[in-house]
Amino acid sequence: MANRSGTAQRPNGQSQGKICQFKLVLLGESAVGKSSLVLRFVKGQFHEYQESTIGAAFLTQTICLDDTTVKFEIWDTAGQERYHSLAPMYYRGAQAAIVVYDITNQDTFGRAKTWVKELQRQASPNIVIALAGNKQDLANKRMVEYEEAQTYAEENGLLFMETSAKTAMNVNDIFLAIAKKLPKNEQNTGQGGSVQGRRLTEGNTEPKTGANCCK
Ligand SMILES: Nc1nc2c(ncn2[C@@H]2O[C@H](COP(=O)(O)OP(=O)(O)OP(=O)(O)O)[C@@H](O)[C@H]2O)c(=O)[nH]1
Ligand SMILES: [Mg+2]
């Protein structure tokens, strides 16, 4: 139940804290592991033979952050070039983006930089962007140095982590870091479809309980 100030309350009147909803989009070259990262985050699973995404996939996951429940509405886009023109539909109005590259493939890092530029030019001005160097479990085949990506991320104001959807390394952490960076104050939690996160109202406030959510 949400009261007038948007603070969720239990029937006994105890405050559960704020509930915020954010649109997050994943972008990056095909086969870098976007769907695998989402599958790991949302379902705790990994598939060696993950199918290439057609168009885009939509999933949600909820995490708890101090007194705030953060619900991510996740758009996992298709990395194949023929779907590029669809991307603005998914990043438009997004409050957060994860741009993914594969640390074993230098070209995918170049493609990630192009996505970052496109987001900086065309997405919401306050969008929180995270850069994920995925397949960290294959560090013995590394083609992109950690320091190179970290420097690039610092220069562009991006969150940065190397991740592995396979081992789960830093997967929850990158979503958590984004959740922490997103604005959650009263001013920034307007109603549906606003540029910033929106507060849930009665009827859709119940967060999913799971590994990433408090009960
Ligand atoms: N070793 C390893 N393999 C991974 C990792 N993440 C994904 N993969 C594998 O990489 C392949 C591509 O992963 P996807 O998640 O389908 O990649 P995608 O970025 O969603 O690709 P598109 O949907 O075509 O854009 C699959 O065979 C995955 O099993 C990882 O962290 N480590
Ligand atoms: Mg995919």
Amino acid making up residue 212: N
Closest residue to atom 14 of ligand 1, CA basis: 33
On average, the pLDDT of the chain sits at 85
Tell me the C-alpha to C-alpha distance, in Å, between residue 194 and each of 25, 93, 130.
16, 7, 21
Q: Is the per-residue pLDDT at 19 higher than 50?
A: yes
Residue 184 has a pLDDT of 81
Q: Among all ligands shown, which has an atom nearest to the Cα of 101?
A: 1
Q: Give the integer Cα–Cα distance in Å for 36 and 61.
A: 14
Task: Identify the residues whose C-beta falls under 6 Å from ligand 1.
Answer: 28, 30-36, 47-50, 52-53, 78-80, 134-135, 137-138, 164-166
Cα-to-centroid distance, 33 and ligand 1 (Å): 3
* Domains delineated in the chain: 18-181 (3.40.50.300)
Q: Can you list the alpha helix ranges (DSSP code H) found in the chain?
A: 34-43, 87-91, 106-122, 146-155, 171-181
Pocket residue to mutate for ligand 1, from 36, 99, 171, most atoms within 8 A of Cβ: 36
Q: Are 208 and 62 in contact (CB under 8 A)?
A: yes
Q: Among all ligands shown, which has an atom nearest to the Cα of 47?
A: 1
pLDDT band at 21 (very low <50, low <70, confident <90, very high): very high
* pTM, to two decimals: 0.86
pLDDT band at 152 (very low <50, low <70, confident <90, very high): very high
